[in-house]
Chain A
Amino acid sequence: MANTILVNMNRCTGCWTCSMACKSAHHLDVKEFWQYVRTIGGGEIDQPGGEWPNLYMKWMPIWKQKCAKCSGDASTYGKPYCVYNCPAGALTYGNADDPQSELSKRKQELLDKGFRVYEIPEWEETREGILYAENSI
């Protein structure tokens, strides 16, 4: 798929920059999100799971089906606004069918490091073409 996004879950810090960049570029209302960040932990945003001091927390950016599958503009070098602005280097964009794309190379690099690469099941009705890579977190 041409406009695939690869999420390196090991680098996501749950900062919501992707989400706000999307809202801002697409002029979404305050409560409208095409993309958001789920905290995996204690239920609320940035709330860890577990009991002190055995705690855990990680973040999963979610693209809804409403995602415009944009590719930004010239100022973002053709990358979607979410990907371009990510301050953690957690997101890679490209054509998953082209083995030479930045995305395919990054995916292979992570697979070689022992990462699992997975997708959210179709029945969760999120945007297609989002790959998650994760290793021991």
Chain B
Amino acid sequence: MPSEEKVTYNLCQGWGCHEHCLVETHVKDGKIDRVQKCLFPGKRPANDICMKGILSAKIPYAKDRILHPLKRVGERGEGKFEQISWDQALDEISAKITEAAEKYGSRSIILNQFWCGYPGDWKSTHNDLIYRLAFAYDASILEYQAVDYGLTFGTAVVNGLFTVNSRRLPEDVGKEIIIWGGNPLGFTRPAASTHFLLDAQERGVKLVHISNLFDVTSARADQWVPVKSGTDGALALGMCSVVIEEGLYDAEFLLDKTSAAYLVNTETGAYARAAELIEGAGEGDFVAADKDGNLGVVAHPMGQPFAGYGDLTPDLFATIEANGAVYKTSMQLLREFCQEWTPEHQETVTGVPAETCRQVAREYIANSPAIIYLYYGLRYPNAVQSNRAILTLALLAGNVGRKGGTIMLAGQGDQTTMYGMDQNVIRFPREVRGMSDRVTIETILESFENPDVQQYKVWLNCMGNPLLNWPNKDMWRRRILPNIDLFVSWEIRMTDTARYADYVLPETTTFERYETVCDTDNCVMYCEPAIEPLGEAKSTAWIFSEIAKRIGVGSEFDLTAEEWQRVRIDEGMKGKNAIVFDDGQNPIGTEPITYDTLKKKKVMRVDIPPMIPEDGLSMDAHTTTTGRFEFYNELLNGIGHPFGDFEPIDILDDERRAEYPLQFYVGRHKYFMQGQFTNIAENHLLAEKQFGVALNPVEAKKRGMVDGEIVNVVNSRGTMRVPLQLRDDIPMGMAHTWYSFDEKHYPNTCCPQDLMHAENTPERETAVMRTYYPAYAYVNINVLGTPQVMTHVAGPYTPEGLWNQLCDVRKITSDGKEA
């Protein structure tokens, strides 16, 4: 009998890499036979696959797949469960939700929607339904750990808003791409970014990689510039100093696009308002001066095109005295600030030779248009300031908002969703009981100590694997979970988080459910089940509907998983068209996007005016003080950070280093992503020898250690006993490990997460964030109208910090003690 075959399109189960690939699933006799690259309509290549994508076919069949609802019978974390029926699970969970809501209010229910790593992420139906439940029930949404937002805040200070640039920008022009931090060619985002960066290199574009580690990107780059961890801001300032002192800056760009020529009152640190210096001029306008000290009003653009300087020929370096105060342009102040940051001085901080600093800076200018590709590779508490310093360099070069010459951010598709699909059609229920609240870990911890504030009792972990992915594990075990009455996790396998849950709900994999996502490369994708759900796994749409019914908001969840997709497309994308292509993939017209057409075509390329215009800036409505790009920020001047700069952090502190001399660096493994692939045998085969801690051979020799011996990795938070590898790609002063391996790989010893400090807690506050966060929140909530519950990073904590901890690696004597 011939076998029955079919092909479906499904989201890669990985997705946490933000490449957001769709995979082509080949099914034989009801079982996934293989998964391969899927082609998109239009130009090629437009979608890729990596080894994890190929192996995602094995995820539904993994040995630790959860196939039935489970109820904990042992202690939390012990991993002992009994199989129960769906009815029992849903009845008991719903009863506890209702009980907590009656006693402590509906806000005592916390929904975790940390989407990173979840197929479809914040664009998924699942994410929309979490919001819908939150708003229908007025539950709380968890503010997940602060991570990867250094760039968001850095660009927000300089630009007022998050600047999103297309990863397709380097396709035609540009002569150089500086990849600053991160490893886009290798570890984290290996599919489409790899392809286009290599295409650029093959066209003759020079790839420069600035990073603290030697990795795939360093190996493939034309030049690798090793920089000491956490000192990137200093290197950027050194390069700014070269550009300013050698007159290599783009004066025309600085005048046309930035506040470089605006006068600043050096007494107050504020930009001079026109009314302050020119009689009859406006309070909201600004002032520039020419070489003779004549003043001119520079009108605030108020979101309109910049009107220029009138008759004035502004002097970028003007200094004037008026009303007994000295006024200098922000460019002059930057020049003075950068005088300290000679290439020689930066070398003492970064370890980058002064000559290399000069060469990289000069070539960045000479090779303009050139791109700086920022890849979330600066996970230090000073990342906001470092990113500001890097953006300052780009502004000086005029390499912002120019085709082939701009700042590019990590390849999150092309962000089609933001203008392609209106997800609010699902997120907002017909009847909104309340706008919920976004609560931080700090708020939750505080509530345990103070019965007079809102209490948090039920934790619905609808997305994410916090017990593996988030530091500090000890905080979860000792401080959070003992105070939570109910901890439920939606899971496809026995993750670390599942092991600590009271109930584990078996969720369908991406191969077993319906989904529509408007994302990658401006395409909207239709995903249908490739296989029947295994065991008793259920779609989250079903799970939410069943819980909703039992807690009194069932009427808001009356659709099936497939029916929600129709709403997303027919209502959420109403009026949008797709490009029609001929067999040669040439565009020949457009057609309306409807659910029925999408279901037939599977992938449609949305016809939208380029969100990324020729100037490369997707959101050029600056909400900065001056309405222009600002490397000088008057608000942050108040706390001594007028410019992007180099802020000292723990790992650079000599006193702290005296006790724990090594940076404890926790990396993400290229074969494991956010931990979704740690249960796949093939991945383990390739990665298992890298389990443990790695040191540079010089550091190991100092400690009398050899490759392969078992060592203690120690800091004030704990001890992790693991094998040692000697690796030449690890710099001196660093102990390198991976966060990806599950807890069970560390029997009777700490995991890397134990040795990491917690995020979103008072000790993670920084002066920059304390000062800047309220302004950011104001813009997001009051100017853009984003509901507070939908903003990210709801607090003044450093938006980065995963790589800012120290440790030592110590030898173990034959009796098992530390030498």
A-to-B contact residues, CB < 8 Å: 10-11, 13-17, 19-21, 23-25, 30-31, 41-42, 44-53, 55-58, 75-76, 81, 84-85, 87-90
Given contacts A31-B685, A42-B728, contact A53 B54 (CB under 8 A): no
Q: Are B36 and A15 in contact (CB under 8 A)?
A: no
Q: Which of B53, B55, B194, B730 lies at the interface centre, i.e. has the most chain A CB atoms within 10 A of its CB?
A: B194
**Given the complex, which residues of B lie within 8 Å of A50, measured CB to CB?**
728
CA distance A53 to B219 in the complex (A): 12
B37 contacts the other chain (Cβ, under 8 Å)? yes
Q: Are A48 and B214 in contact (CB under 8 A)?
A: yes
Find the B residue at minimum CB distance from A110.
B202
Q: Are B686 and A52 in contact (CB under 8 A)?
A: no
CA distance A56 to B220 in the complex (A): 9
Q: Please provide the 4 A-B residue pairs with the shortest distance between their CB atoms, ordered closest to farther.
A: A87-B48, A57-B219, A20-B54, A20-B51
Given contacts A20-B51, A75-B36, A76-B36, contact A13 B220 (CB under 8 A): yes
Question: Smallest Cβ distance from A25 to chain B, in angstroms?
Answer: 5
Q: Are A21 and B54 in contact (CB under 8 A)?
A: yes
Within 49-103 of B, Cβ neighbours of A (below 8 Å) are at 49-51, 53-55, 57
**Given the complex, which residues of A lie within 8 Å of B690, measured CB to CB?**
44-46
Q: Are B190 and A53 in contact (CB under 8 A)?
A: no
**8 Å CB contact of B34 from A24, A41, A57, A58:** A24
B168 contacts the other chain (Cβ, under 8 Å)? no
Find the A residue at minimum CB distance from B351.
A53
Find the A residue at minimum CB distance from B198.
A11
**Given the complex, which residues of B lie within 8 Å of A15, measured CB to CB?**
50-51, 186, 190, 194, 670
Q: Are A47 and B729 in contact (CB under 8 A)?
A: yes
Given contacts A13-B185, A50-B728, contact A87 B682 (CB under 8 A): no
**8 Å CB contact of B682 from A20, A46, A56, A76:** A20
Given contacts A85-B36, A87-B49, contact A23 B729 (CB under 8 A): no
CA distance A46 to B687 in the complex (A): 10
Given contacts A13-B194, A16-B686, A89-B45, contact A24 B24 (CB under 8 A): no
| Contacts beyond the supplied A20-B682, A31-B685: 14 A-B pairs with Cβ under 8 Å | A14-B186, A14-B216, A17-B51, A21-B34, A24-B54, A24-B57, A44-B689, A48-B728, A52-B698, A52-B732, A55-B224, A57-B216, A81-B34, A84-B37
CA distance A52 to B670 in the complex (A): 22
Given contacts A48-B728, A49-B728, contact A87 B36 (CB under 8 A): no
Q: Are A53 and B214 in contact (CB under 8 A)?
A: yes
B464 contacts the other chain (Cβ, under 8 Å)? no
Given contacts A30-B685, A44-B689, A85-B36, contact A55 B51 (CB under 8 A): no
Q: Are B198 and A19 in contact (CB under 8 A)?
A: no
B109 contacts the other chain (Cβ, under 8 Å)? no
**8 Å CB contact of A13 from B186, B224, B728, B731:** B186
Q: Which of B186, B698, B729, B730 lies at the interface centre, i.e. has the most chain A CB atoms within 10 A of its CB?
A: B729
Question: Smallest Cβ distance from B217 to chain A, in angstroms?
Answer: 9
Q: Are B686 and A45 in contact (CB under 8 A)?
A: yes
Given contacts A20-B54, A24-B35, contact A87 B729 (CB under 8 A): no
Q: Are A55 and B218 in contact (CB under 8 A)?
A: yes
CA distance A104 to B282 in the complex (A): 69
**Given the complex, which residues of A lie within 8 Å of B572, measured CB to CB?**
none
B192 contacts the other chain (Cβ, under 8 Å)? yes
Q: Are A24 and B195 in contact (CB under 8 A)?
A: no
Find the B residue at minimum CB distance from A24.
B34
Q: Are B54 and A75 in contact (CB under 8 A)?
A: no
Question: Smallest Cβ distance from A43 to chain B, in angstroms?
Answer: 10
Q: Are A51 and B728 in contact (CB under 8 A)?
A: yes
**Given the complex, which residues of B lie within 8 Å of A10, measured CB to CB?**
201-202
CA distance A44 to B688 in the complex (A): 11
**Given the complex, which residues of A lie within 8 Å of B202, measured CB to CB?**
10-11
Question: Smallest Cβ distance from A90 to chain B, in angstroms?
Answer: 8
**Contact bitstring B681-722, A, C-beta under 8 A = 1, else 0:** 110011101100000101000000000000000000000000
B284 contacts the other chain (Cβ, under 8 Å)? no
CA distance A58 to B24 in the complex (A): 30
Show 7 A/B contacts (Cβ-Cβ < 8 Å), sorted by A: A11-B202, A13-B194, A49-B728, A55-B729, A57-B214, A76-B36, A85-B54
**Given the complex, which residues of A lie within 8 Å of B195, measured CB to CB?**
87-89
Question: Smallest Cβ distance from B701 to chain A, in angstroms?
Answer: 12
Q: Are A13 and B190 in contact (CB under 8 A)?
A: yes
Within 1-60 of B, Cβ neighbours of A (below 8 Å) are at 7, 24, 26, 34-37, 45, 48-51, 53-55, 57
**Given the complex, which residues of A lie within 8 Å of B7, measured CB to CB?**
75
Q: Are B36 and A23 in contact (CB under 8 A)?
A: no
CA distance A84 to B190 in the complex (A): 16
B260 contacts the other chain (Cβ, under 8 Å)? no
**Given the complex, which residues of A lie within 8 Å of B49, measured CB to CB?**
17, 85, 87
**Given the complex, which residues of A lie within 8 Å of B730, measured CB to CB?**
52
B333 contacts the other chain (Cβ, under 8 Å)? no
**Contact bitstring B655-681, A, C-beta under 8 A = 1, else 0:** 000000000000000110000000001
Q: Are B190 and A85 in contact (CB under 8 A)?
A: no
B287 contacts the other chain (Cβ, under 8 Å)? no
Question: Smallest Cβ distance from B732 to chain A, in angstroms?
Answer: 7
B727 contacts the other chain (Cβ, under 8 Å)? yes
B199 contacts the other chain (Cβ, under 8 Å)? yes
Question: Smallest Cβ distance from B373 to chain A, in angstroms?
Answer: 16
**Given the complex, which residues of B lie within 8 Å of A44, measured CB to CB?**
689-690
**Given the complex, which residues of A lie within 8 Å of B681, measured CB to CB?**
30
Q: Are A75 and B24 in contact (CB under 8 A)?
A: yes
Question: Smallest Cβ distance from B53 to chain A, in angstroms?
Answer: 8
**Contact bitstring B202-219, A, C-beta under 8 A = 1, else 0:** 100000000000101011
Q: Are A56 and B51 in contact (CB under 8 A)?
A: no
**8 Å CB contact of A17 from B50, B201, B220, B729:** B50
Q: Are B727 and A47 in contact (CB under 8 A)?
A: yes
CA distance A16 to B669 in the complex (A): 14
Q: Which of B191, B198, B681 lies at the interface centre, i.e. has the most chain A CB atoms within 10 A of its CB?
A: B198
Question: Smallest Cβ distance from B251 to chain A, in angstroms?
Answer: 36
CA distance A49 to B726 in the complex (A): 12
B554 contacts the other chain (Cβ, under 8 Å)? no
**Given the complex, which residues of B lie within 8 Å of A57, measured CB to CB?**
214, 216, 219, 729
B592 contacts the other chain (Cβ, under 8 Å)? no
Given contacts A13-B186, A24-B55, contact A58 B219 (CB under 8 A): yes
CA distance A15 to B219 in the complex (A): 13
Q: Are B216 and A13 in contact (CB under 8 A)?
A: yes
Find the B residue at minimum CB distance from A14.
B216
Question: Smallest Cβ distance from A1 to chain B, in angstroms?
Answer: 25
**Given the complex, which residues of A lie within 8 Å of B220, measured CB to CB?**
13
Find the B residue at minimum CB distance from A45.
B686
**Given the complex, which residues of B lie within 8 Å of A87, measured CB to CB?**
37, 48-50, 190-192, 194-195
CA distance A47 to B682 in the complex (A): 19
B226 contacts the other chain (Cβ, under 8 Å)? yes
Question: Smallest Cβ distance from A56 to chain B, in angstroms?
Answer: 7
**Given the complex, which residues of B lie within 8 Å of A23, measured CB to CB?**
682
CA distance A50 to B670 in the complex (A): 22
**Given the complex, which residues of A lie within 8 Å of B732, measured CB to CB?**
52
**Given the complex, which residues of B lie within 8 Å of A45, measured CB to CB?**
686-687, 689-690
**Given the complex, which residues of A lie within 8 Å of B34, measured CB to CB?**
21, 24-25, 81
**Contact bitstring B732-743, A, C-beta under 8 A = 1, else 0:** 100000000000
Find the B residue at minimum CB distance from A89.
B195
Q: Are A52 and B54 in contact (CB under 8 A)?
A: no
Q: Which of A10, A45, A55 lies at the interface centre, i.e. has the most chain B CB atoms within 10 A of its CB?
A: A55
Q: Which of A17, A25, A31, A85 lies at the interface centre, i.e. has the most chain B CB atoms within 10 A of its CB?
A: A17
**Given the complex, which residues of A lie within 8 Å of B698, measured CB to CB?**
52
CA distance A16 to B689 in the complex (A): 16
Question: Smallest Cβ distance from B8 to chain A, in angstroms?
Answer: 12
CA distance A16 to B214 in the complex (A): 19
CA distance A41 to B732 in the complex (A): 19
CA distance A13 to B209 in the complex (A): 15
CA distance A20 to B677 in the complex (A): 14
CA distance A52 to B686 in the complex (A): 24
Question: Smallest Cβ distance from A133 to chain B, in angstroms?
Answer: 12
Q: Are A89 and B689 in contact (CB under 8 A)?
A: no
